Amino acid sequence: MASITIKATDGSGGFDAYVARPAGGAATGVVVVIQEIFGVNAAMRQTCDWIADMGFIAICPDLFWRITPGVDITDKSEAEWQQAFALMNAFDQDKGVEDLKATLAVARTLDGGNGRAGTMGFCLGGRMAFLMALRSDADVNVSYYGVGLDGLVGEAGTIGRPLLVHIAEGDKFVPPPARAAILSGVAGNGAIRAWVYPGVDHAFARIGGVSWNGRAATIANGRTAEALAGALG
């Protein structure tokens, strides 16, 4: 697997992105993988590799490059959690959306691609995927346990391309009132599918994470795979 550099659209420099490619030679769609608060770490790289194994190109940009380039930490220690929360609090989400749109534009032109591209994000990345559904021309967007989505669903009526929303029932970052607001806010839009996974916590699909739940992750990932195949070819 390889890394490429993408130019920021505001002229402030460039940022690296991890790229994983499928073994086959046929043209395929591209998935922009949006990191959690732990950076482009082993879990994100393994997620990209899994997407490549499904036959898509995966590209995961370093969204924290404006703060600290190359963040690569885990969810295994209190010190790493504190570092991750500090990075999240310093992160400019509007700039992040612009960096993701730049990544999406590059994704559409990658060798071996077919011009179609979508996003898949986790945690903070799940929120960013929802924002990409609102602000970009991505062909499909997938949000895993996105945070703060209840503050975005007021705009959900403008979304016209497929958006999947995976919600953990026991997510401490998305309490029941927020979950109810999300479900109510997306209910009237046929382009959006939302599911609640019972008995699991935030990050139930984080590969190697402390809250991993194999059953819920497999069900959610199956729904994701079907949506990616339908939208990206």
Catalytic residues, by residue number, are 171, 202
**Burial of 196 from C-beta contacts in 10 A (0-12 / 13-18 / 19+):** middle
